[in-house]
Amino acid sequence: MTDISPDTGTGNRFDWTAPAYRERVRKRRRGETWLRIAGLVSISLAIGFLLLMLVSLATTGYKAFTQTHVTLAVKLDPEQIRSDNIAGSNWRQIMQATLAEMFPDLDTAGLREVRGILSDGAQFMVRDRVVADPSLIGTTLNITVPVSDPFDQLNKGGIDRNTPEANRRLNDAQIAAFDKLVEQGLISTPFNWALFRNADSRFPELAGLKGAFIGSIYLLLVCFAIALPVGIGAAIYLEEFAPKNRFSDLIEININNLAAVPSVVFGLLALAVFLNYFGLMRGSPLVGGLTLALMSLPTIIIATRASLKAVPPSIREAALGIGASRQQVVFHHVLPLAMPGIMTGTIIAMAQAIGETAPLLLIGMNAFITAAPSTPFESATTLPTQIFIWADSPERGFVSRTSAAILVLLAILVMLNGAAIWLRRRFERRW
């Protein structure tokens, strides 16, 4: 061993400084840098597109979160209100008289021009106040009502005053009248509660999401109540009890396949089965919920099976070892431990269901209804179908309301997905 010279030690057996080796190291590092850059670029692209979408929605949608209102002093003249039938009085005329008093210097033709300032819903707001409290008759009611969509657009800068009068939605007289109200301090632009408190309307200033909210909630309840027990039941059987043979393989393949079937197919199925065969109510959240339950079942089954599989076999064996039956093992030990994973999968399936549109269009959940449904058996709309209806309406005000509704839907989705992450973090157990 004397022939080992210091030069042949570990350091020098391989020449680390040789140009060929350096070149190889550089190449490897370059490869890694490129991979990192590619990753960063794809992430930034994804974030960029998301931001683009959010910014374009926010820039058109923010206008819909406020609504121009005008404060009126309505004289409730007992002679004009029929005491036997308050609701049936001529409220249109009462509102017109109120406007006439606000613009004393206008003649009849001029008044006709400014009548359009008030939203069509204003007269019904006054009517409902008086019906609720008949003692108001004879007094002057100070009430703040929305202005109609063209004037709302004017106030928010949506109508260019420099456009020639003939091409404008509002003529000079109407703009002058509105400016006069602004000078008197009667115009205000509060938060648009109507967007959440009202059901749909053909007037943008009155249209809201209440009907769609309630429709979506009913639909999710039905979907949840059916998809969850059926999905968990199917998953438990397949995972814990079913014999592993060709037949169960076939079922598994089919379930995985179903998860990838386009949602519109479920809509056609629902149209044929639930509507045409069973004759359930067209456009009701019940039918919508049943349809979406079919659609979320595969997702829930797959998520449940995955979380059941993740429970360590030692727990099953320990329970079996102390004499528990198969059923006790599943319900006392495995299922509770798998629950966080199941809930996460379910919430993600529900988030998918709340944003689903195509099958709902086929079963008529895109109807125009000015009242929120009171049961899941009545026709209703849902948030995405409401967006669909608004996007197709000619009035200018619906453009911003469409974006606003999308923002609301996105907020709900963020909350649902946030809940899924929270559940996972909070209850997840690692073995």
Smaller CB distance to another protein: residue 167 or 245?
167
Please name the amino acid found at residue 299.
T
Between CA 35 and CA 197 the distance in angstroms is 51
Smaller CB distance to another protein: residue 363 or 408?
363
Least Å from the CB of residue 402 to another protein: 8
Lookup: tokens for 79: 């002679």
Give the largest CA-CA distance in the chain.
127
Three-class DSSP category at 257:
helix
Q: Are 227 and 349 in contact (CB under 8 A)?
A: yes
Q: Are 283 and 365 in contact (CB under 8 A)?
A: yes
CA dihedral 54, 56, 57, 60 (to 10 degrees): 150
Smaller CB distance to another protein: residue 192 or 366?
366
DSSP single-letter state for residue 86 = S
Smaller CB distance to another protein: residue 290 or 319?
290
Between CA 166 and CA 179 the distance in angstroms is 19
Between CA 353 and CA 333 the distance in angstroms is 30
Please name the amino acid found at residue 232.
I
Least Å from the CB of residue 370 to another protein: 4
Query: What distance, in Å, lies between the first and last C-alpha atoms of the chain?
Result: 52
Smaller CB distance to another protein: residue 87 or 261?
87
Least Å from the CB of residue 148 to another protein: 10
The tally of CA atoms less than 13 A away on the side-chain side of residue 312 is 6
Least Å from the CB of residue 269 to another protein: 17
Least Å from the CB of residue 339 to another protein: 10
Least Å from the CB of residue 267 to another protein: 14
Burial 357-367 (b: 16+ CB within 10 A, else e): bbbbebbbbbe
Q: List residues binding another protein (CB under 8 A).
A: 87, 120-121, 124, 159-160, 163, 167-169, 199, 201-203, 222, 225-226, 228-230, 232, 278-283, 286, 331, 335, 364, 366-371, 377-379, 389, 391-396, 398-399
Between CA 28 and CA 88 the distance in angstroms is 84
Least Å from the CB of residue 26 to another protein: 49
Smaller CB distance to another protein: residue 356 or 378?
378
Smaller CB distance to another protein: residue 2 or 85?
85
Smaller CB distance to another protein: residue 162 or 245?
162
> How distant, in Å, are the alpha carbons of 118, 190, 233 from that of 238?
63, 56, 9
Least Å from the CB of residue 181 to another protein: 21
